[in-house]
């Protein structure tokens, strides 16, 4: 059962209102990102990985416009009728891209802060293959055999999606959300200056809920009813906005309204982190030296002061 244009659960006016509200939210997000990018060298903003946030913003836009097409908000004329193309847009370059940049960012932070290894030693090939191969298989399969994935249905005058294909997409989506949850937990105790456990915890809960909600709405075709369509659109729009704002809202607010105070708080957190690290290192060295029979009197202690984008935390501290 699909969304039919002749029996669409929302009136044309309601669809225009939903579209207008979503465009307004994306415009606000784009302005915020532009401001953050312009001030990307401000340390509290810089550590948020602005390039990654920009890719996430682009992915959320693809996710949204693909969802609008699949649910008949823009009709099914012209390019909107090429259902396979919109699978690439909504799923491969939308949902998957949003999750990919998030997981990649957390993967980098875990490598630097938890494993305490330089970025140059990050294993890239295997993680990229594990992520890209399933995504490409989904997209290529949808293009090669649309009758088993998604195609334009002349009877319903809308895009039809094969149930097996839906399940495969949701399984991969769920696996990636699970990886997101793992990294959220793994990064819970990293240095305070770069610790985003509160934000990530909220993000994981939202991602899990959105995945489950979309799965239920699609498996039972509730999205063809007005309440189901409203619920799905509202929840998805909320999902790909919440991560952006939970990460960038605080440093943006600090830069606009309390720039110096925000910077001093950031430096104070760095100072506390460096002090804690020095004390912990001294304790470990003392333990090694006094341990009976230990031949390693000068163990190599890697410093976790390098943040995920390769910038050393010490660079943010004022020079004597």
Query: Tokens in use for 84?
Result: 């396979």
Report if residue 283 sits inside a domain: no
Which contiguous run of DSSP H or E holds residue 317?
none
Mean pLDDT for 271-298 is: 50
Question: Comparing C-alpha atoms, which of 299, 270, 294, 274 is closest to residue 284?
Answer: 299
Query: Tokens in use for 158?
Result: 């809308």
Question: Comparing C-alpha atoms, which of 85, 84, 86 is closest to residue 65?
Answer: 86
Question: Comparing C-alpha atoms, which of 234, 249, 259, 255 is closest to residue 202?
Answer: 249
Q: How far apart are CA 189 and CA 192, in angstroms?
A: 8
Is residue 277 within 8 Å of residue 237, measured between CB atoms? no
Report if residue 275 sits inside a domain: no
Mean pLDDT for 277-284 is: 49
Report if residue 281 sits inside a domain: no
| Mean pLDDT score of the chain | 81
Report if residue 38 sits inside a domain: yes
Residue 281 pLDDT > 60, yes or no?
A: no
> Residue 153 — φ and ψ, nearest 5°?
-95, 115
Mean pLDDT for 270-294 is: 52
Measured between its terminal Cα atoms, the distance across the chain in Å is 69
Specify the higher pLDDT residue, 8 or 179: 179
Is residue 270 within 8 Å of residue 316, measured between CB atoms? yes
Is residue 317 within 8 Å of residue 267, measured between CB atoms? yes
Q: What is the CATH number of the domain that holds 147?
A: 1.20.1070
For residue 150, what are the β-bridge partners?
161
Report if residue 173 sits inside a domain: yes
pLDDT-derived band at 297, boundaries 50, 70, 90: very low
Is residue 29 within 8 Å of residue 61, measured between CB atoms? no
Q: How far apart are CA 282 and CA 302, in angstroms?
A: 13
Report if residue 42 sits inside a domain: yes
Question: Comparing C-alpha atoms, which of 25, 271, 308, 6 is closest to residue 153?
Answer: 6
Range from 23-27, 114-118, 170-174 carrying the lowest mean pLDDT: 114-118
pLDDT tens-place string over residues 132-154: 899 999 999 999 999 889 888 88
Number of structural domains the chain divides into:
1
Report if residue 92 sits inside a domain: yes
> Residue 144 — φ and ψ, nearest 5°?
-75, -40
Structural domain including 55 reads: 12-259
pLDDT-derived band at 2, boundaries 50, 70, 90: low
For residue 152, what are the β-bridge partners?
159
Is residue 223 within 8 Å of residue 217, measured between CB atoms? yes
Q: How far apart are CA 120 and CA 122, in angstroms?
A: 6
Report if residue 305 sits inside a domain: no
């Amino acid at each position: 059962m699909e969304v039919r244009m002749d029996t669409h659960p929302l009136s044309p006016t309601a669809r225009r209102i939903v579209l207008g509200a979503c465009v307004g939210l994306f415009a606000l997000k784009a302005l915020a990102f532009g401001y953050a990018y312009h001030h990307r060298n401000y340390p509290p903003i810089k550590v948020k990985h602005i390039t990654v946030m920009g890719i996430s913003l682009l992915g959320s836009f693809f996710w949204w416009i693909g969802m609008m097409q699949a649910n008949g908000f823009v009709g099914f004329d012209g390019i909107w009728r090429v259902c396979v193309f919109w699978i690439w847009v909504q799923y491969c370059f939308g949902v998957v891209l949003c999750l990919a940049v998030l997981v990649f960012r957390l993967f980098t932070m875990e490598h630097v802060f938890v494993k305490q290894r330089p970025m140059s030693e990050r294993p890239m090939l295997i993680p990229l293959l594990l992520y890209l191969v399933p995504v490409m298989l989904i997209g290529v399969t949808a293009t090669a055999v649309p009758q088993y994935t998604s195609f334009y249905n002349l009877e319903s005058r809308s895009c039809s999606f094969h149930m097996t294909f839906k399940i495969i997409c949701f399984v991969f989506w769920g696996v990636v959300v699970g990886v997101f949850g793992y990294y959220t937990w793994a990064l819970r105790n990293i240095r305070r200056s770069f610790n985003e456990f509160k934000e990530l915890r909220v993000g994981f809960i939202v991602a899990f809920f959105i995945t489950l909600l979309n799965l239920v709405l699609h498996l039972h075709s509730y999205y063809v009813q007005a309440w189901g369509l409203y619920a799905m659109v509202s929840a998805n729009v909320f999902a790909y906005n919440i991560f952006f704002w939970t990460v960038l809202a605080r440093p943006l607010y600090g830069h606009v309204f309390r720039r110096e105070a925000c910077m001093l708080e950031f430096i104070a957190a760095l100072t506390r982190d460096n002090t804690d690290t020095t004390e912990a290192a001294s304790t470990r060295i003392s333990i090694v030296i006094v341990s009976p029979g230990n031949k390693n009197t000068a163990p190599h202690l890697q410093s976790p002061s390098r943040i995920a984008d390769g910038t050393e935390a010490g660079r943010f501290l004022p020079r004597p």
